[in-house]
């Protein structure tokens, strides 16, 4: 079985202060560290587990600049057979354009597959749509928010999709298909620096994205970046830990939840 998994290198913005520059045209990410997209980590693990139990091989694919080789090496260290980098110098905001390039790449290079895995969304743009658009273009069935894979056979899979409020739906889907994997589906294996270094010896093929632009156009215009709309905002507690701690206990007493 041939399993493809898309993996993306994204800025780790959780604890970073982000600045909008160039009159709202750009978000300055120059000082932000990059890492594997959290959701893709779960997707890589899900694909590798299936290859290990059902037999087959996983190929990791990343669309991004040369630095994205890092997430391919990481996937190989986790157990992927090889990696493809579809190299593009600038980030594309439009999920339609990204999915079209992915589609053209798979078709033009005749990449064989039985299933394609993606993360539900990437942490940076949160569009959560490239997998769905790609599946539609390929004419394949699609399921997103996959939190469980109960069976994976030659011609079909039984999966569970996460809905809201603790509800799931169990779905039967025919292969080949595209599955967007939700975080928490598994416990991704640990990869050591040593493992990633060893993965450099495995071949990663590089393809220029320019060859896959046919029909790829930006369908939505980014007008500008803005900071989040301000709500009321919190009344901030100041002082040393002792004062803040006592302040919080005071609030708890006032609200009647602590004596």
Partner 1 sequence: MSYTLVVAEVRRGLFEERNLDTLGLAHLLGKEIRLLAPAGAPGEGEKFCNAVIKVEASETDFQNPLTMVRVLEKVIEGGGRPGAILFTSSSSGIELASYAAGVLDLPLITDVSGFDMERAVFLKSYYSDKIFGEFRPGEGTFAVTVRSGSFKDYATEKGGAASVGTIDGIATDPARTFIEYVEEEKGAIDITKADFLLSVGRGIGSKDEIAGYEELAGLLKAVLSGSRPVIDKMWLPKPRQVGTSGKTVKPKVYLAMGISGAFQHIAGMKDSDCIIAVNKDPEAPIFQYAHFGFVGDANKLRDKLKDIAKG
φ, ψ of residue 88 in degrees (nearest 5): -140, 140
CA 186 → CA 27, 39, 204, 212, distances in Å?
33, 11, 26, 33
Q: In the bound complex, what is the minimum distance in angstroms from residue 6's beta carbon to partner 1?
A: 14
Q: Which is nearer to partner 1, 50 or 146 (CB)?
A: 146
Q: In the bound complex, what is the minimum distance in angstroms from residue 210's beta carbon to partner 1?
A: 22
Q: Could you give the CA distance from residue 226 to residue 9 in angstroms, rounded to a whole number?
A: 23
| Residue 119 within binding range of partner 1, rule CB under 8 A | no
What mask, x for binding partner 1 by CB under 8 A, covers residues 168 to 187? xxxxxxx--x--x--xx--x
| Residue 167 within binding range of partner 1, rule CB under 8 A | yes
Q: Which is nearer to partner 1, 171 or 202 (CB)?
A: 171
Q: In the bound complex, what is the minimum distance in angstroms from residue 232's beta carbon to partner 1?
A: 7
| Residue 154 within binding range of partner 1, rule CB under 8 A | no
Whether 116 and 4 have beta carbons less than 8 Å apart is answered as yes
Residues in 50-79 that interact with partner 1 by CB under 8 A: none
| Residue 91 within binding range of partner 1, rule CB under 8 A | no
| Residue 134 within binding range of partner 1, rule CB under 8 A | yes
| Residue 249 within binding range of partner 1, rule CB under 8 A | yes
Closest CA to 39 of 123, 142, 138: 123
* Burial per residue of 168-195, b for 16 or more beta-carbon CB atoms within 10 angstroms, e otherwise: eeeeebebbbbbbbbbebbebeebeeeb
Of 154, 193, 203, 232, the one binding partner 1 by CB under 8 A? 232
| Residue 195 within binding range of partner 1, rule CB under 8 A | no
Q: Which is nearer to partner 1, 192 or 235 (CB)?
A: 235
φ, ψ of residue 10 in degrees (nearest 5): -130, 155
| Residue 194 within binding range of partner 1, rule CB under 8 A | no
List the Cα angle 38/148/195 in 5-degree steps: 45
Helix 130-138 / helix 95-108 crossing angle, nearest 10 deg? 40
* Burial per residue of 114-128, b for 16 or more beta-carbon CB atoms within 10 angstroms, e otherwise: bbbbbbbbbbbbebb
| Residue 132 within binding range of partner 1, rule CB under 8 A | yes
Judged by CB under 8 A, the number of residues near partner 1 is 89
Of 5, 46, 96, 191, the one binding partner 1 by CB under 8 A? 96
Residue 180 structure tokens: 């967007």
Whether 137 and 99 have beta carbons less than 8 Å apart is answered as yes
| Residue 30 within binding range of partner 1, rule CB under 8 A | no
Of 123, 181, 199, 204, the one binding partner 1 by CB under 8 A? 123
| Residue 235 within binding range of partner 1, rule CB under 8 A | yes
């Amino acid at each position: 079985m041939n399993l493809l998994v898309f993996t993306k290198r994204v800025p780790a913005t959780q604890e970073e202060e982000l600045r909008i520059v160039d009159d709202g045209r750009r978000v300055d990410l120059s000082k932000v560290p990059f890492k594997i997209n959290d959701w893709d980590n779960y997707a890589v693990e899900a694909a590798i587990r299936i290859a290990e139990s059902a037999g087959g091989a996983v190929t990791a694919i990343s669309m991004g600049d040369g630095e994205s080789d890092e997430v391919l090496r990481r996937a190989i260290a986790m157990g992927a057979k090889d990696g493809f980098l579809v190299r593009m110098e600038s980030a594309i905001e439009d999920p339609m354009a990204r999915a079209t390039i992915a589609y053209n790449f798979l078709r033009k290079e005749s990449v064989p597959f039985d299933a394609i895995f993606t993360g539900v969304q990437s942490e940076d743009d949160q569009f959560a749509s490239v997998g769905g658009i790609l599946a539609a273009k390929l004419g394949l069935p699609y399921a997103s928010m996959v939190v469980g894979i109960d069976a994976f056979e030659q011609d079909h899979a039984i999966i569970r999709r996460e809905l809201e409020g603790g509800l799931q739906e169990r779905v039967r889907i025919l292969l080949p298909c595209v599955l967007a994997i939700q975080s928490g589906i598994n416990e991704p294996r640990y990869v050591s620096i040593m493992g990633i270094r060893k993965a450099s010896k495995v071949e990663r093929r590089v393809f220029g994205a320019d060859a896959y632009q046919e029909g790829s156009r930006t369908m939505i215009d980014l007008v500008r970046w803005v900071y989040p709309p301000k709500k009321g905002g919190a009344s901030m507690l100041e002082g040393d830990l002792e004062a803040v701690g006592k302040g919080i206990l005071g609030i708890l007493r006032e609200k009647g939840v602590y004596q």
